[in-house]
Amino acid sequence: MNKGSKLYSILRFKCPHCHEGEFFVDSNPYNLAKAGELHGECPVCHRKYSREPGFYYGAMYVAYALGVALFVSVYVAIYVLYPEASTELYIGGVLGSLVVAGPYVYALSKIIWANLFYAYKGVEATAEEKARQAR
C-alpha cells in the first residue's frame, strides 16, 4: 500500500489528489463536533475536494453499502460463534455495532466517494492545471 494507490488515501484519510494533505478537519471520526467536516481544499496541493454543491450526497450510497456489509458480517459472526443465540442478541449485536461504527462508516464513505472521482496527481500541478490557472 504505497502512495499513488486509492487504498492508501482511503485508509489514511488523505487527500485523493496528492495523498499528503489531510482530508478531514479532524482525522478522528469519533470527534462528533467536527464529524465529516472537510477542508475546502487540500492544505498541501491546494486542489478542491468538491466538484459541485451537494457532491458528497452520493456518499450516502457508499455508507449504505458499508452498513449492509457490517450488518451481514456481525449477523454471520453471531450465527457462527453462538448458534443458540436469541433474537435479542442478534438485534442488539447488529444495532450496537452499527451505532459504534457509525462515525467511522460516515467518514469512510466520504473518502471512498471522493476517491471514486479524483485520481492521484501528486503534489505539483499538472500541465493541464497550470494551463487552466494561466487563463
Q: Given this model, what pLDDT does residue 134 score? A: 73
Q: Is residue 26 part of a domain?
A: yes
Q: Is residue 135 part of a domain?
A: no
d(Cα 23, Cα 43) in Å, to the nearest integer?
9
Domain that holds residue 101: 6-130
More confident residue, 36 or 133: 36
Taking only the tens place, the pLDDT of each residue in 87-131 is 999 999 999 999 999 999 999 999 999 999 998 888 777 777 777
Q: Is residue 1 part of a domain?
A: no
Q: Domains in the chain: how many in total?
A: 1
Q: Whose grid coordinates read 481544499?
A: 41
pTM as predicted = 0.86
% of the chain exceeding 90 in pLDDT: 59
72-90 mean pLDDT: 94
Q: Is residue 124 part of a domain?
A: yes
Q: Which three cell numbers stand for residue 105?
A: 462508516
